[in-house]
Amino acid sequence: MKEWIFTTDHKRVGILYLIGSMAAFAVAGLLAMAIRFELTWVGPTLIEADTYNVFLYFHGAAMILGFLIPGLTGFMANYLLPMMIGAHDVAFPRLNALSVWLYWFGIVLALLTFVVPDPPDIMWTGYAPYSTQYSSGNLSFYVFTVHLIGFSSLLGAVNFLCTVIYMRAPGMGWNQINFFVWTILGAFVIQLIFVPVLATAVTLLLLDKYLGTSFFVPSAGGDVLLYENLFWFYSHPAVYVILLPAVGALMEIISTMSKNPIFNYRVAVYGGVWGVVLLGSDVWAHHLYTSGMVDWVRIGMMVTTLIISVPVGLITISLVFTLYKGAIRFNTGMYYAASCLYLILIGGLTGIPLAMSSLTLHLGETYFVMAHFHFIMGMLATFALFASVYHWFPKMTGRMYNEKVGKAGFWLNFIGVNLTFYPLFIIGVEGMPRRYFDYEMFPQFQGSQQLATVGAILVAAGIAVMLINWIYSAISGEKAPNNNPWESASLEWTATASPPGPGNFPQPPEVSADWTPYDYQPRTAS
């Protein structure tokens, strides 16, 4: 126990992040099942309307703040980044430990939602004036959950930026670092600049509710749109905090498994990653097209929202063309990675109509929006995380997972998510509003809701199979045949043991000027 609670080693901190984020995922996932069962039949069935609102709140807050952001930045960056750049640890190991425990206490605080008499019911967005004036829910728990996890993320940002600046292996130039390292840099730059804005926004909620200030009280000269703007000024870029490490990990997996160097590495880095970081800061108003704003802002933000398809497209081109003429090995990690190419396509294409302010009048606040962002966050990013755990499983545990069980879990998950969200796209276009507890005015949607519930049951089974596979294989799986079972050329595979010991590298690595982490033998065209 003591070795884990007081550890400052980046790999153990990374595992702690993984455990925390999977716990948040499990709880938030169970709540999603409860929500889905409630919606399976018209009329109130399983849970109370108030409980439903609390579940919606917790599902959103825990999935985004507790699972996706810490899972894709905290866990992945901690476990992989120092080894990829040839460092023995991060720049500030104790700060790293503080960061993971602040995050864990953030999760504990969020879980207290289910114990306190007045749980927050304010969605993960906490919009004023409902959260400050009308809800009796415990706003302070929401605010401090954001603070704890946000501050943990800021410490991570400082730590990893310094780590990459100072601790690369001797000889490793900026164009030689893994694509994943670039995406982590991009994600943490976003966190560094935008998290404080969210922290301020929720702090102002706290001041309004408990100290009587009037930032969001229109009668006293405040403005509720101020909150929406501050909130989405962070929370849209947060999507890229999740997306960037996800595509970064996919790029590593696809390159390794197809034994090809990354197609257009520099374009994907400087155009793709940094294009997303740059443009991602100027699209937030598309979350409040219908809340009221002047036309030039609305139209400007529509243009920037559409333009952001370009850097995302550049990354996608690299993902797809890295496969071209590769010797592709389809294991479970690669199954998940390959399915992500499809998910990014559907998730991306359904974003385009939502970017258009005229179409949003119809599609906004319907199941269409909900299905769209679940395709990106709930599936693309989540599958990328699962792909990564499978891909780096031999590295983390020194053992192999069970391939057959892994693939069975994949098919359950993949068929399940499609079965869940396609019907929701369709009824969304037909007008089913999101967040409703009951849909007695739209009984024609019951069939689609039931299909979605069947899909959700498949996903639950798939996740259970996957978790059992991970836990069983980590304890008593077959020993990995060597330190590098996928024959990767990246430093975390070639130069460390599996699992790596303290200090990672038996000999501190040095790289030459023509070294790359994607140095695969060129093969003749067939």
Within 428-487, the residues that bind another protein by CB under 8 A are: 483
CA angle 6, 401, 160 (to 5 degrees): 40
Cβ at position 503, least distance to another protein in Å = 3
d(C-alpha 145, C-alpha 103), whole Å: 9
**Number of residues lying near another protein (CB under 8 A):** 76
| Cα 447 off chain centre by | 30
Candidate ranges 27-35, 192-200, 342-350, 400-408; the one touching another protein (CB under 8 A):
192-200
Name 400's bridge partners: 478
Residue 165: Cβ-neighbour burial (10 angstroms; 0-12, 13-18, 19+): exposed
Instruction: Note whether 201 binds another protein by CB under 8 A.
Output: yes
Give the closest residue to 262 by CA, choosing from 484, 524, 516.
516
Candidate ranges 78-86, 207-215, 341-349, 432-440; the one touching another protein (CB under 8 A):
207-215
Instruction: Note whether 108 binds another protein by CB under 8 A.
Output: yes
Instruction: Note whether 40 binds another protein by CB under 8 A.
Output: no
Instruction: Note whether 297 binds another protein by CB under 8 A.
Output: no
Q: Is the peptide bond before 499 cis (omega within 30 degrees of 0)?
A: yes
Instruction: Note whether 92 binds another protein by CB under 8 A.
Output: yes
Q: Which is nearer to another protein, 159 or 176 (CB)?
A: 159
d(C-alpha 183, C-alpha 205), whole Å: 32
Round the CA-based radius of gyration of the chain to a whole number and report it: 23
Instruction: Note whether 2 binds another protein by CB under 8 A.
Output: yes
d(C-alpha 234, C-alpha 126), whole Å: 14
- Indicate the length of the chain as a whole number: 526
Q: Which is nearer to another protein, 204 or 355 (CB)?
A: 204
Q: In whole angstroms, how far apart are CA 411 and each of 127, 408, 416, 429? A: 38, 5, 8, 27
Instruction: Note whether 498 binds another protein by CB under 8 A.
Output: yes
Instruction: Note whether 278 binds another protein by CB under 8 A.
Output: no
d(C-alpha 3, C-alpha 461), whole Å: 33
Instruction: Note whether 61 binds another protein by CB under 8 A.
Output: no
Grouping H, G, I as helix, E, B as strand and the rest as coil, residue 366 is strand
Please select the residue that binds another protein; options are 17, 67, 75, 141, rule is CB under 8 A.
Answer: 141
| Residue 135, token pair as written in the block | 């809800």
Considering only residues 149 to 168 of the shown chain, the ones binding another protein according to CB under 8 A are 154, 157-159, 161-162, 165-166
Q: Which is nearer to another protein, 138 or 260 (CB)?
A: 138
Instruction: Note whether 420 binds another protein by CB under 8 A.
Output: no
Q: At 486, which amino acid appears?
A: W
Instruction: Note whether 400 binds another protein by CB under 8 A.
Output: no
Candidate ranges 31-39, 100-108, 271-279, 316-324; the one touching another protein (CB under 8 A):
100-108
Residue 522: Cβ-neighbour burial (10 angstroms; 0-12, 13-18, 19+): exposed
Please select the residue that binds another protein; options are 111, 226, 307, 341, rule is CB under 8 A.
Answer: 226
Instruction: Note whether 33 binds another protein by CB under 8 A.
Output: no
Instruction: Note whether 295 binds another protein by CB under 8 A.
Output: no
Helices 382-391, 224-258: axis angle to 10 degrees equals 30
d(C-alpha 19, C-alpha 374), whole Å: 22
Candidate ranges 38-46, 309-317, 457-465, 491-499; the one touching another protein (CB under 8 A):
491-499
Please select the residue that binds another protein; options are 128, 204, 279, 363, rule is CB under 8 A.
Answer: 204
Cβ at position 396, least distance to another protein in Å = 14
Instruction: Note whether 239 binds another protein by CB under 8 A.
Output: no
Q: Which is nearer to another protein, 18 or 146 (CB)?
A: 146
